[in-house]
Amino acid sequence: MIISEKSIELHIEDDILIARKVARQEMADIGFGSADQTRMATAISELTRNVIKYAGHGVCHIITESTPSEIVIKVEIEDYGPGIDDINKAMEDGYTTGGGLGAGLPGAKRLVNDLSIESRPGLTKINLEMTRPNV
Amino acid sequence: MQIPILKLKNILLTSIQSDMTDDDALKYQSDVVSYLEKSDAKGLIIDITAMDIVDSFMARVINETARMARLMGAKVVLCGMQPMVALTLVEMGRELIGVETALNLDKGFDKLLEMITEGVDDH
């Protein structure tokens, strides 16, 4: 099994671009197609923007694994901000506390098979995962 | 990063690059509307050929820029959307509602000229 891990500190808007670029490259390296690369990079863009906007700073960990049978990308985005008050509400289309359209989190969930959120004041972790057969 | 706004006859031509921060996007939006006022252009082409990611924020900026330009009396065509971008926007449940689109710059230009000469109502 080949494992690669990259961590991107999230402080400023430029870091959003870096995180999604790194994810796309890491995915391409182990054979994810361009549709999946775009899905994941777009989801990362939505979620890292939330970190910059609501928490100020955080980290995006990108882990890729390649075995003879499958390729996997796991992304963990964590921040140390105030946390998400009501996760169920935050997953609803159109719900926003920041003046946006409320499309970020529910949009990201639709793009990625697997999205989970843990949140309390001071620590929010969002995990994304995508697995495909290694062909 | 400054997005160039080119004037070709009575049309404004802009091509958005992928690596644009949120601040760049908002700056682009206000640049377009102020250039529109100064230039007396009748149409605006927003080319997104170079964008490999359009998230909900960028979708909103593009949508709003088109609406602003229309409020000022210009016709607007969005062109060059990459297939994977179209795919993610639809999957996310976002659409660029009310923006006329074309496959590429060539077709976008034709469409815009048609809309200007015929005074077609693009919503």
Of B34, B44, B39, B40, which is closest to residue B12 (Cα–Cα)?
A: B44
Contact status of A111 with chain B (Cβ, < 8 Å):
yes
CA distances from A8 to A55, A61, A116 (A): 15, 6, 20
Q: Contact A93/A102 with Cβ under 8 angstroms?
A: yes
Contact between chains at A104 and B56 (C-beta distance less than 8 A): yes
Prediction pTM value: 0.91
Tell me, what's the ipTM? 0.89
Contact between chains at B88 and A39 (C-beta distance less than 8 A): yes
- The residue in chain B having the minimum alpha-carbon distance to the alpha carbon of residue A50 is B57
Quickly state the pLDDT bin for A15 (edges 50, 70, 90).
very high
Question: Could you say which of A17, A38, A103 has the minimum Cβ distance to residue B85?
Answer: A38
Quickly state the pLDDT bin for A100 (edges 50, 70, 90).
low
Extents of the domains making up chain A: 2-133
Q: Contact B93/A93 with Cβ under 8 angstroms?
A: yes
Better pLDDT: B103 or A98:
B103
Superfamily of domain B5-118: STAS domain (3.30.750.24)
The alpha carbon of residue A11 is apart from the nearest alpha carbon of chain B, in Å, by 13
Please give the Cα distance from B28 to B71 (Å, whole number): 17
Of A103, A66, A133, which is closest to residue B90 (Cα–Cα)?
A: A103
Taking every pair of Cα atoms in chain B, the longest distance, rounded to a whole number of angstroms, is 38
Extents of the domains making up chain B: 5-118
Please give the Cα distance from B76 to B92 (Å, whole number): 24
Report the share of chain A in percent with pLDDT over 70.
95
Q: Contact A60/A19 with Cβ under 8 angstroms?
A: yes
Backbone angles phi, psi at B52, to 5 degrees: -95, -5
As a whole number, mean pLDDT of residues A118-126 equals 93
Q: Would you give the DSSP letter of residue B3?
A: P
The alpha carbon of residue A40 is apart from the nearest alpha carbon of chain B, in Å, by 9
Please give the Cα distance from B83 to B88 (Å, whole number): 9
Contact between chains at B91 and A110 (C-beta distance less than 8 A): yes
CATH code matching the domain that covers A2-133, chosen among 3.40.640.10, 3.30.1330.120, 3.30.565.10, 3.40.190.10: 3.30.565.10
Model pLDDT, residue B120: 60
Please give the Cα distance from A58 to A125 (Å, whole number): 10
Give average pLDDT by consecutive 10-residue segment, chain B, 123 residues.
90 90 93 94 96 92 94 96 94 79 96 88 56
State the angle between helix axes of A104-111 and A34-50 in degrees (0 to 180), rounded to the nearest 10.
Answer: 150
- Mean pLDDT lowest among A112-121, A123-132, B66-75: A112-121
Contact between chains at B21 and A39 (C-beta distance less than 8 A): no
Question: Could you say which of B19, B60, B91 has the minimum Cβ distance to residue A17?
Answer: B19
- CB neighbour burial string for A35-72, b if at least 16 within 10 angstroms, e if fewer: ebbbbbbbbbbbbbbbbbbbbeebbbbbbbbbeeeebb
Q: Which of residues 51-70 of A touch B (CB under 8 A)?
A: none
As a whole number, mean pLDDT of residues A8-24 equals 96
CB pairs under 8 A between A and B: 65
Contact status of A13 with chain B (Cβ, < 8 Å):
yes
A127 Cβ neighbours under 8 A, 6+ residues apart: A74, A75, A76, A114, A115, A116, A117
